[in-house]
Amino acid sequence: MTMNYKLLGYIGFFATLLLGCGSAADILSTPIENIDTSPLKVAELTEAEKKNWGHLDLEKDTIPGMAVDRAYDELIKKKKGVKVIVAVIDSGIDIDHEDLDDVIWTNKKETPNNGKDDDNNGYVDDVHGWNFLGDAYDEQLEYVRILASGDKSNPDYTAAETKYEEDYQTWTSRKTQYDQIAQAVKNADDTLKKHFGKDDYTIEEVNAIKTEDQTLSQAKQIAQNINANGLTMAKANEEIKDAQESINERLNYNLNKSFSGRKTGDDVNDLSDTGYGNGNVKPVKKSEAHGTHVAGIIAAERNNGKGANGVANNVEIMSLRTVPNGDEYDKDVALAIRYAVDNGAKVINGSFGKSFSPHSEWVRDAIKYASDNDVVFVHAAGNDSKNVDKVPNFPDDNVDFVEVSNTYIRVGSLTQKYGSKMVSGFSNYGKKNVDIFAPGSAIYSTMPENEYDFNGGTSMAAPGVAGIAALIRSQYPNLNAAQVKQVILDSGLPLTTKVVVGGDASNVKPFIELSSSGKIANAYNALILASKIK
């Protein structure tokens, strides 16, 4: 699923602003899926390093990046290689973005906007990909859809019911506490504005306040705490508002059993009912930013003097709008994978996932289809801080660890700091079901309407690896997809460091036990190894 969770990375920080309100502090310290708190932890990096740390090199820079810059400086240099199509199965992509507009795939067999299926692939006017969601974006979570069906014979019904009760309580409590935080920050801001007689007071003026008035003293402390974490009061109010909107979306759409987001008119339980959706692959609103951010990590135009550099330098991004603000439908994912394969993609990135999948076999068959047709499928491991060898996370490429694909790569997330806190607290892991780790915390990339920002999640780690796969396929086109996967896993940096797992300081494991390779992805090593394979 894709949700606007970036701002909730400040959740622990804002909880402290209540100055001892235990109930808020307790609920806001609860781990939240898809949240990366790393924006508060990167102050020791320079601004340039913050925006590019995922491309740096552990050996040269002591930062556990993917050695992308080193690969270009020492190996690729000006070699472009062959063009590689990378399909991004995600939310909509801003294909007009200044850093993406020259790397968007165009279906040359299709005449734009003529209302015809010129290439007879089953999709009308699919010029830059396909939009399986139509005009919709908000959706329920899969387990909520299971409950809404009322089918108690569904083997997942009881588990769905239990999870719903837990999550609904968590999010209603979270809403209450965040509303308290919003009011506390607003009151502090109003108090300081009244004290100074103006709206544009400075932190220096706040620091100079000497008072025994409890309300003003508390307002001063809140403002100082906010400033110490790199925010102004105005920015804090803005980010809290955005966080509240995310919480409300969770309750009003994702967890609302009466809500129906589907508008495409198809039968979601009939895989043969195709042709729905449309060719408009752009986001339906600015906040639908996930796909644009992912696309930029893979392919933002390099060294053009604009916001970000993608990993791969000679790719075209095929946009497949499939992932809503909620859980994706298995049918859409299965058809999107098949569309990507049938229309020339050599790498597919899937930065989505869920814990319930009623038609998981459809997606698994599509992953096998990709493997059988020489396509690498890179998938995010998920953001639940769980061991996915034990807890289901879909889609996957296996049944009871028997794999159907030899080109599927599942990716966990790293932070910027080498050492015990190197694994992102939100990242899933698994010795059998996760293959490798890559940078995923506080990654700077493209956002809709020519903007740029930091986001975190295994959603950001997967496209880094997809970019490496595209680089290999571009520079060494004779290697097949299975070889590309093996090169990525074999060439990673093996680490024996003991790390905190799942953000739980009491859970410390050797890094090598968290994935099948026990390694972090490394573009420089991957290209060297690829060059040695005949």
Taking only the tens place, the pLDDT of each residue in 257-288 is: 999 999 999 999 999 999 999 999 999 999 99
Q: Phi/psi at 487 (nearest 5 deg)?
A: -60, -45
Looking at the fold, whether 170 and 307 belong to one and the same domain comes out as no
Residue 430 contacts residue 387 (beta carbons within 8 Å) = yes
> Do 250 and 306 reside in the same domain of the chain?
no
Whether 233 and 188 share a structural domain? yes
Q: What are phi and psi of 167, to 5 degrees?
A: -70, -40
Terminal alpha carbon distance of the chain: 39
Token pair of 321 as six digits: 């709008």
**40 pLDDT exceeds 80?**
no
Last residue of a domain, one of 254, 275, 308: 254
pLDDT (0 to 100) of residue 153: 96
Per the CB < 8 A criterion, the answer to whether 247 and 175 are in contact is yes
| Per-residue burial over 173-212, b = 16 or more CB atoms within 10 Å of its CB, e = otherwise | bbbebbebbbebbeebbebbeebeeeeebeeeebeebeee
In the numeric block, which tokens belong to residue 205?
A: 């003026």
d(C-alpha 383, C-alpha 394), whole Å: 12
Please compute the mean of the pLDDT values over residues 33-45 and round it to a whole number: 45
Domain shared by 233 and 97, yes or no? no
Q: Are residues 211 and 266 in the same domain?
A: no
* Whether residue 29 has pLDDT greater than 80: no
CATH value at residue 468: 3.40.50.200
Please tell me the predicted confidence (pLDDT) of residue 15: 53
Give a yes or no: residue 1 inside a domain.
Answer: no
Q: Quick one: pLDDT band at residue 499, thresholds 50, 70, 90?
A: very high
Query: Rounded to an integer, what distance in angstroms lies between the CA atom of residue 301 and that of residue 310?
Result: 6
Q: Is residue 145 part of a domain?
A: no
Residues 289 and 368 in one domain: yes
Give the separation between CA 161 and CA 150, rounded to whole angstroms.
Answer: 11
Asked if residue 249 and residue 220 are part of one domain, the reply reads yes
Contacts of 212 (CB under 8 A, 6+ apart): none
Report how many domains make up the chain: 2
Residue by residue, DSSP assigns 478-503 as: TS-HHHHHHHHHHHSEE---EEEETT
Mean pLDDT of the chain: 91
Query: Is the CB of residue 325 less than 8 Å from the CB of residue 352?
Result: no
d(CA 90, CA 298): 13
Q: Are residues 480 and 429 in the same domain?
A: yes
Q: Do residues 322 and 389 share a domain?
A: yes
* Structure confidence by residue, pLDDT tens digits, 332-360: 999 999 999 999 999 999 999 999 999 99
The per-residue pLDDT for 42 is: 41
**Residue where the block lists tokens 């992953």:** 367
For residues 34 and 3, the answer to whether their CB atoms sit within 8 Å is yes
Residue 153 lies in a domain: no
Question: How many Å apart are CA 291 and CA 289, to the nearest integer?
Answer: 6
Element (H, E) at 351: none
**363: phi then psi, degrees, rounded to nearest 5:** -70, -40
Q: Is residue 82 part of a domain?
A: yes
Q: Are residues 17 and 101 in the same domain?
A: no
Q: Report the predicted TM-score, pTM, of the whole model to 2 decimal places.
A: 0.91
Mark which of 254, 284, 317 sits at the end of a domain.
254
**Percent of residues, the chain, with pLDDT higher than 70:** 92
Q: How confident is the model at residue 74 (pLDDT cuts 50, 70, 90)?
A: very high
Q: Is 515 inside a domain boundary?
A: yes
Average of per-residue pLDDT across 232-237: 90
413 assigned to some structural domain: yes
* Same-domain status, 431 and 499: yes
Residue 151 lies in a domain: no
3-class secondary structure per residue, 264-332: CCCCCCCCCCCCCCECCCCCCCCCCCHHHHHHHHHHCCCCCCCCCCCCCCCEEEEEEECCCECCCCHHH
The pLDDT value given to residue 256: 98
Domain carrying residue 16: 6-30+161-254
Q: Is residue 228 part of a domain?
A: yes
pLDDT at 230: 82
Last residue of a domain, one of 254, 280, 308: 254
Beta-ladder partners of 501: 504
Tell me if 146 sits within 8 A of 157, measured CB to CB.
yes
**Separation CA 410–CA 429 (nearest Å):** 9
Task: Check whether 241 has a pLDDT greater than 60.
Answer: yes
Q: Are residues 420 and 478 in the same domain?
A: yes
